[in-house]
Every structure is written in structure tokens, then in C-alpha cells.
Amino acid sequence: MVNTSTIPSDPSEVTNIGAPRNFRIPADRIKSTLEGLPEDERSVAFWFAQYCRSQDFTRTELGRVLRKPGSNDYYSADSITALFTGGRIRRNENVQPILEAIATLKKIEDARAEQTTSGFIETRLFRIIEGRCLKALARQKILFIWGESQIGKTESLKEVQRRHNHGQTIYMEVPTGGSLGNFLKALARVLGVPEVLDRAQLTERIINCFDGNMLLICDEMHRCTAARYSAAGLAVFSFLRELWNRKKCGMVLSLTNEGRDQFLHGPHAKAFQQLWRRRITPLQLPAFPPDDDAALFAEAYGLTAATDEPIAIKVSYVDDGGRTKSKEHSDSPLRLQRQVLMEEGLGVWIGILQDASDMAREQRRSMSWGAVLKAHAQSLAECEILD
């Protein structure tokens, strides 16, 4: 059954198909409504709108989130909606109390965010990425990030969005195929803009969701540079150039090294130069995480930093005659760590650490580097840690 109480009266505000939502007021409409407020008030009100969108509040939940100043009562869903859609402003109502309530909520949520751990491990690589993203925002420029898959780019960019989500940081993953139509629909879903609009309307409304105080993070942008998609991808980069020209928002475009090469030297490199000139210094990430970052992941699983000291394990295997045999194997944690990170990536290495942790728990042993060696060898043979 459709909850008609959350459907906007304007047919153009129909929610995105395939993206069920309770909070469905598009970001561009809210920005337009708040335009006449002073910048600090506009900023905190837009933060609250993005907060409501991220929480996907129902009307009932919306009526329980914002406490009136000096009271135990809450602003109703209708009252909050009227702020976002202009009803309060058109009626010349005093919006200062509700803005005060929003500012109080924001302080509480900011404090909670500082204390909440999402399981994310803050590495040196993350701090570099975060710093450069904030520089792109402050300078209202475009940051290109290059780096191979499985080194932690995506998780770092999502964490930047989580930590700086005050209505100003928008994260999106570029859909496969690199077409402008799919790109616009994906971005529209993030912003609450209806996808059913025609291309020109959709483009205009998405652009109107941004201003110079916002940062757009586009992850997996190499999907728009692949040779078979490059013509379609060119349209995506042209859209981003138009968005930047008109709104001067900060941008972060994350690509693999292969995408970098296509962007800089591929068939459309000359056309891409128009966007390239609007950049700050690009960030080239290392091919694999450095040892000090890897030590942080080890620490998260109860291990000391990997060393060159060899550890012996006993490997059991079945020979061609079906007989079970065993042999000793020795390896150093540091060598294994570097090998896996270089050849298979961070995701595989974290999977090995998790397998080792599970194994140690099942055997009621403390987590150890021996367990890590065993977990790595598990796909090849049964093995036993030598005490």
C-alpha cells in the first residue's frame, strides 16, 4: 500500500523509480526554498535536509526527531516539511526557533560522529586522501585521484563523506557503462531528484542542487574512460565541467591508473584537457599500502606489526596415491604481508586476517601470525601451527 501522506503535490516530485524513499523532497527544491536565508542558517537547514534524507525518515519518525527549544515537544512532520518546501517562509513565520532546534541537533550528531566507530581503520593513506579532498572543497577545484584497485580508495572516500556529511559532501559510484544517462540517474538518486525527467530537465535540476560550499566525490570514474565507452564517457566529463563552471563546487574524481592513462593520453585526451585545467595537484596513490598502514590493520586484529622473523607451520597434504603426508613450511609475516598486498590487494589481505581470527577463536587460541600463515595456506593444504 502506498503511503499517500508522503507523496508531494507536484507530479514532478515523483520519487525515483527503483529507489523507495520516505523522505522525498528533492535537494534542488530545498536549496531554492532556503535561498533567502543568511548563509549560516541556510547551511544548517540544508544539513538537516540531507540528514533526513540519509536517515530516510517516515512521517512518523520525522515528527520525533526535532525537539522544540525549551520544550519536551517535537516539531511535527508537517512543520518540518513546510520549512523545506517554503510554506513557513511564504507565511512570514518566524523560522528562528526551528533553526535553533536544528543547530542543537547538529551539535549532538557531530559529537556522536566523533565518538562512533564504523570499524574503519584510519591509515596514513586515508589522512592524505581526506586532506586533499578538503583542499579541493576549500579551493573550489577538482582533485584527480589515481590508484590501482584494492588499495583502499573507495573505503577512504566513503569515510570522507561520512565524516564531512553536513549537507556538503556528496558521494556517488559511477555506474558501469560510462553513459551520461546512467550517470545522471545515479546522481539523481543520491540527491532525491526524480529520474523520470527528460535529460535537459534532469541536468538542470541536478546542477541546481550544488553550490560553492559543496564537494562532489565521483568514485570509479575510470568507467567513463574505457576505450569502448570513451565517447559516452566524454559526455559525463562535459557535464562535470558544466557543473563546475556554473556552481564552482569542489570535485574529487577517482580513477584507476589505467583510467588515468586513458584520460591523459587516450583518444579524447584533448577534450578532457578542459576539465584537467581546473584541477589542483593530482594525488597518485602507491601500488599497495605501506608497511605502517598494514601494521594498523594487523593491530586491529590483535597482532603486533609483521616482522622478518620466520614462523614454522606444518602442512598436511594428500599425495597422488591418496596418502596423507606432512611437511614443515616456514615464512616470515612481513614477506607474506607484502606479497599478498602487492599481488592481490588489501581486500584479500583483510580476508586472510579475518579467516585467521575466526580460526583462532574456534580453536580457543590467541590470534597469532602463525594463524595468519595457516589461513593463507588453507586453500592449498591443511596445516597445523607448530607450538
For position 349, what pLDDT does the model report? 93
CA distance 202 to 55: 24
For position 79, what pLDDT does the model report? 94
Sketch the domain layout of the chain as residue ranges: 4-115, 124-284, 291-385
Beta strands 142-146; 283-284: pairing state? parallel
The closest alpha carbon to 386, from 277, 302, 312, belongs to 312
pLDDT in 10s for each residue of the chain, 387 residues: 333 333 343 434 434 444 447 888 999 999 999 988 998 898 899 999 988 988 889 999 999 999 999 999 999 999 999 999 998 888 888 999 999 999 999 988 887 776 655 678 899 999 999 999 999 999 999 999 999 988 899 999 999 998 887 668 999 999 988 889 999 999 999 998 998 899 999 999 999 999 998 999 999 999 998 766 567 788 999 999 999 999 999 999 999 999 999 999 988 888 888 899 999 999 999 999 999 999 999 999 999 999 999 999 876 766 667 777 777 878 999 999 999 999 989 989 999 999 999 989 998 999 999 999 988 887 555 445 554
Which CATH superfamily does the domain covering 124-284 fall into? Answer: P-loop containing nucleotide triphosphate hydrolases (3.40.50.300)
CA distance 328 to 126: 39
In three state form, how does the secondary structure of the chain look?
A: CCCHHHCCCCHHHCCCCCCCCCCCCCHHHHHHHHHHCCHHHHHHHHHHHHHHHHHCCCHHHHCCCCECCCCCCECCHHHHHHHHHCHHHHCCCCCHHHHHHHHHHHHHHHHHHHHCCCCCCCCHHHHHHHHHHHHHHHHCCEEEEECCCCCCHHHHHHHHHHHCCCCCEEEEECCCCCCHHHHHHHHHHHHCCCCCCCHHHHHHHHHCCCCCCCEEEEECHHHHCCHHHHHHHHHHHHHHHHHHHHHCCEEEEEECHHHHHHHHHCCCHHHHHHHHCCECCCEECCCCCCHHHHHHHHHHCCCCCCCCCCEEEEEEEECCCCCEEEEEEEECHHHHHHHHHHHCCHHHHHHHHHHHHHHHHHCCCCCCHHHHHHHHHCCCCEEEECC
Q: What is the pTM of this model?
A: 0.81
Q: CB 213: neighbour CB atoms within 10 A?
A: 18
For position 238, what pLDDT does the model report? 93
Q: CB 363: neighbour CB atoms within 10 A?
A: 11
109-112 long-range Cβ contacts below 8 angstroms, 24+ apart: 109/51
Where do we find the cell 586522501?
A: 129
Amino acid in the structure at residue 331 = D
